[in-house]
A and B are shown apart, each in its own frame.
Chain A
Amino acid sequence: MGKKIKLGVTGFSRTGKTVFIGSLTQALLTSDAWVKKRGQGPLAQFTPFELGQFTCGSIRDDIHSDFPQFPFRKVLDSLTNKHAKWPVPTEGISHLVLDLDFHIKKKFWERDKKIQLELIDYPGEWLADLPMFEQTYDAWSDDMLDRAKESVRKEWSQVYMQEVNELDPEQDDEGVLERLTDIWAQYLSTAASNGLVFNQPGRLLRPDALRHSPVLRLIPIPESKRQSRLGKKLQNRFKEYQQKVIKPFYKNYFSKIDRQIVLIDILRTLELGEPAYNELIDSLNLILKSFKYGKGSILDWATGHNTTHVLFAATKADHVVRGDRANLEKLLRKIIRHVDDRNRFKSSVKHYDMMEIASVKASEDRMTVNPPKREILFGKPHQADKNGAYDPGGLPLDIPPDWDSMEFQFLHFEPLSMLDAQYDGFPTINLGKALNFLIGDDFK
């Protein structure tokens, strides 16, 4: 019986959780392809692999066999197809348990050991619900309506605001509530598609098994209407949502995670501008408070503060040239500095680190031949007809940048055709390094 490690892959929607889990799994399953080329391949910088300790990984179908399993095969097919494309967004929660076999050799003995790694995929929209658990309906309602009146959200929430202002709060009609919920969900959907991440209730965007269930008929209403019959009903529904939706999700999947990787899509946030950036900082600040970080002491263990290693990863490192990857990491460090400006998080966790990663490298690093030589990327941007060489542009060096003068754009690359990935794993940037930080210490 080996050590069990629960790795929480955390991130808002479209940050690459599914691709990360798929690529990591494939890397662990195909590690033998790189045995003769240690130091290279998707597990490069994963010390147990480079030292020759790590033997192989295998998927366990018998554990959590009554829960949905992560659609590894579908993700693999989607990315290794001749016309490769990114996997479809995750609709519900799924598990994947891997056995990692390794051997350790000491002076007088040699032993084969095993680590059981559990990965969980879930829709990123659900993550935004975690801060609701600590709130009352009144506080939540005020917060949501205040946000809906801010900057870009104001335009998208106009219909809802108009409807809710005209609402008769004494009218206890489930049909009216359903209609208003649809309008609220439409507003949230518009905000999400524009890159804003703090959209509550998150289940309205990805309801999965709760589709059409009454508990999801939850909307914020103005303070003046909260003492009505509808107000009372929504207060009860909020509590119900906390107990029946958020609590089980948190308790079953987040409260016991040992290691955590937080995926952050900095490039997309910068492209979307100041509102998306501000909301990302706020949301991360609120969400990180929901996790139980610890130093690994017995007291931490007894109080359930199990998460000892946290890695913040700036995704899409393959969308900038090599020379800019160090800057991407620096941007991430500055963002986390803003998120955790009081070092509350840093002082509570045993190990944390930050790095840039690309779970599946969608571009190839190239250099122009004629002087002045410069680094460029070769790949297929979204909506381009074929692969080509592109200058992806530079990164802003300050965070927050001067939004008025900045017009940041980046190319959204589609995955390259990677038929060999079936056997060799996907080309990656820092995937092995990330894995080494998260579980490298456990190979003892």
Chain B
Amino acid sequence: MTDQSRPEPINEETVAINSSSNQEDDINTVSASAKESKATHDTNKRHPQEILEPTESITPEPVTTEDISATYNNRHWSRAFWTFVIFAASWLTYATTISLIDVWKTNLWFAIPLTVVTSIFVIVLVLLIRREWRAIKAVDSIDNTQNQLRKFIDEESPAGVHNTLEPILSGISKYYPEEFRHFEEARADRQTTHEYLSLLNNVLLSKIDKDVDTAIHNATLSVSALVAISPHPALDATIVMIRSNMLIRKIGRMYGLEPTGLASLRLFKKTIINAITAAGIEELGSLLIDEIGANMTVKALKVLAEGAVNARRMYRLGHLAKNYMRPVAIST
């Protein structure tokens, strides 16, 4: 089979193909040609025929971290929590409305400012909840994004990979506009998923990785110093928790997730669960560190050892968060 046409001059109007052209169309053109080529490659003697009986996939679906983490969910507690939230919100709304009606009946001068303040509060609260909700959704979609990415990489679909990463890239573009511009300008020429991901890694993510490493380094140093001078273990724990949350939030922002307060806590939780389920060896490493720390604490350098152990924990947490939140896993 041939796909031939003779060379010929074109007399109609033409336009240059460049980075501003629709990359998806370009990619589809290539993919179509590639698929056609693949079809002709088949030299099997069997004749093609339609299969009418039911079929199923012989390749099992890969087990994802989402599946594993799902086993940790307790649906009953979740239901109870959300029921309580709805219950409290309903009563609060009811009580506030009744109180406002009473005020309107008794004193008009108090009623107007109180209604305005209440309305502003409700609007701000709704906006905050909406923002938190979106941020939590974005955090929850990390696993899904990774699964989608894996699927499109297997299917050799650069357009699919790009569409999956688009929301994250849009977040990244706010903090890294120049690098993002370089990436956008060059991506039209990348026609395979490997080329696309190489460009993403080299031009955009490598710069973010460096900044994330610097952030982890700084957080590690500050935690080790603060814990070393902290007078009480409870304060140590507080410092580590606050600093960890700040670090995770920062890393999330750099990788285009824009986590808010609650979302960053959720990110923290997911990072830990992901790390535990992904690699049991991490727990072993943690135990070893504790062991080393415990041995050191009985020695003269107790304070420094505590600082060092906490710093080590912070460092590892930072890198776990980095591996979890990086849009494209380092191994790909």
Chain A positions within 8 Å of B, measured between CB atoms, are 37-40, 44-45, 47, 50-51, 107, 322-327, 330, 334, 364-370, 375-376, 378, 381, 388-398, 401-402, 405-411, 433
**B271 on the interface (CB 8 Å rule)?**
no
Residues of A within 8 A of B41 (CB): 330, 334, 398
Per-position 1/0 for B1-33, Cβ under 8 A of A: 111111111101111110001000010011011
**B189 interfacial by beta-carbon distance below 8 Å:** yes
Nearest CB on B from A327, distance (A): 5
Q: Which residues of chain B (180-212) have a CB below 8 Å from chain A? A: 182-183, 185-187, 189-191, 195, 198-199, 202-203, 206
13 contacts between A and B (CB under 8 A): A39-B186, A45-B195, A45-B199, A50-B206, A326-B191, A330-B37, A376-B10, A388-B9, A388-B10, A389-B9, A389-B14, A397-B3, A397-B40
A376: chain B residues at CB < 8 Å are 10, 14
Whether A396 touches B3, Cβ cut-off 8 Å, given contacts A40-B185, A367-B17, A368-B14, is yes
Any A CB within 8 A of the CB of B34: yes
Would you give the shortest CB distance from A326 to chain B, in whole angstroms? Answer: 5
- Cβ A38 vs Cβ B7 within 8 A: no
Looking at A44, A323, A330, the one whose CB has the most chain B CB atoms below 10 A away is A323
**Contact partners of B185 in chain A: CB under 8 A:** 37, 39-40
Task: Knowing A38-B182, A39-B185, A398-B40, say if A375 contacts B29 (CB, 8 Å).
Answer: yes
Are B15's CB and A394's CB within 8 A?
Answer: no
CA–CA, A133 and B21, complex, Å: 53
Q: Which one, B2, B3, B16, contacts A402 given CB within 8 A?
A: B2
Contacts of A366 in B (CB 8 A): 14-17
B8 near A391: Cβ-Cβ < 8 Å: yes
Contact B14 A369 (CB under 8 A): yes
How many Å lie between the Cα of A396 and that of B13 in the bound state? 27
Q: Whole-angstrom distance between the alpha carbons of A208 and B28 in the complex?
A: 49
Of B36, B191, B198, the residue contacting A47 (CB under 8 A) is: B198
Contacts of B8 in A (CB 8 A): 390-391, 393
B7, B37, B182, B195: the one contacting A393 at CB < 8 Å is B7
Closest to B32 in A: A323
Cβ-defined partner of B202 (8 Å) among A51, A322, A324, A369: A51
- Cα–Cα, bound, A50→B190 (Å): 14
- Closest-by-CB residue of A relative to B43 is A398
Is the beta-carbon distance between A397 and B37 smaller than 8 angstroms?
yes
**Which residue, B14, B17, B183, B187, has most C-beta atoms of chain A within 10 A?**
B14
Cα(A330)–Cα(B17), bound, Å: 23
Q: Once the chains bind, are B189 and A44 in contact (CB under 8 Å)? A: yes
The 8 Å CB contact of A322, one of B12, B29, B187, is B29
* A377 → B minimal CB distance (Å): 9
Bound-complex Cα distance A246 to B17 (A)? 47
CB distance from A436 to the nearest CB of B (A): 8
Q: Are A394 and B14 in contact (CB under 8 A)?
A: no
How many Å from the CB of B19 to the closest CB on chain A?
8
Looking at the assembled complex, report how far the CB atom of A64 sits from the nearest CB atom of chain B, in whole angstroms: 33
Residues of B bordering A, CB below 8 Å:
1-10, 12-17, 21, 26, 29-30, 32-34, 36-37, 40-41, 182-183, 185-187, 189-191, 195, 198-199, 202-203, 206, 213
Name the residue of chain A whose CB is nearest to the CB of B210: A105
- Given A366-B15, A389-B14, A398-B40, decide whether A323 and B3 contact each other with a Cβ distance below 8 A: no
The residue in chain A whose Cβ has the minimal distance to the Cβ of B181 is A37
Q: Using Cβ atoms and an 8 Å threshold, which residues of chain A touch B17?
A: 322, 365-367, 375
Expressed in whole angstroms, the Cα–Cα distance for A44 and B19 within the complex equals 14
CB of B14 within 8 A of CB of A327, answer no
Closest A residue to B187 by beta carbon equals: A39
B7 touches A368 (CB 8 A): no
Partner among A37, A50, A396 whose Cβ is within 8 Å of the Cβ of B4: A396
A47 to B198, CA, bound (A): 8
Q: Provide the residues of chain B in CB contact with A370, threshold 8 Å.
A: 12-13
Is the CB–CB distance between B30 and A326 below 8 Å? yes
Quick one: given A396-B2, A396-B4, are A368 and B30 in contact (CB under 8 Å)?
Answer: no
Q: Which of B3, B6, B14, B29 has a CB less than 8 Å from the CB of A395?
A: B3
Which residues of chain A come closer than 8 Å to B182, judged between CB atoms?
37-40
Closest-CB distance, A417 to chain B (whole angstroms): 16
> Nearest Cβ in chain A — how far from B162, in angstroms?
14
A326 touches B4 (CB 8 A): no
Closest CB in chain B relative to A380 CB, distance in Å = 11
- The reply to whether A327 and B33 contact each other, CB–CB distance below 8 Å, is yes
Using A39-B202, A390-B7 as known contacts, say yes or no to A326 and B13 having CB atoms under 8 A apart.
Answer: no
Task: Kindly state the separation between the CA atoms of A408 and B2 in the bound complex, as whole angstroms.
Answer: 10
Residues of A contacting B13 with CB < 8 Å? 368-370
CA distance A38 to B2 in the complex (A): 39
Assess the B33–A324 pair: CB atoms within 8 A.
yes
How many Å from the CB of B88 to the closest CB on chain A? 49
Which of A44, A405, A433 is within 8 Å of B2, CB to CB?
A: A405
Q: Is the CB of B21 within 8 A of A392?
A: no
- A104 shortest CB reach to chain B, Å: 13
Contacts of A407 in B (CB 8 A): 4, 6
Query: In whole Å, how far is A91's beta carbon from the nearest beta carbon of chain B?
Result: 32
- The residue of chain B having its C-beta at the shortest distance from the C-beta of A326 within the complex is B34
Q: Tell me if B16 and A391 are in contact (CB < 8 A).
A: no
Contacts A39-B183, A322-B26, A369-B12 given; indicate if A395 touches B34 (C-beta within 8 A). no
Q: How far is the CA of A393 from the CA of B4 in the complex (A)?
A: 6
Closest to B11 in A: A389
C-alpha gap A38/B183 in the complex (Å): 8
Please state if B21 and A327 are interface contacts (CB–CB under 8 Å): no
Which residue of chain B has its CB nearest to the CB of A370? B12
- Least CB distance from B218 to A in Å reads 13
Nearest 6 A-B pairs (CB), nearest first?
A: A39-B186, A50-B202, A389-B10, A323-B29, A365-B17, A396-B2
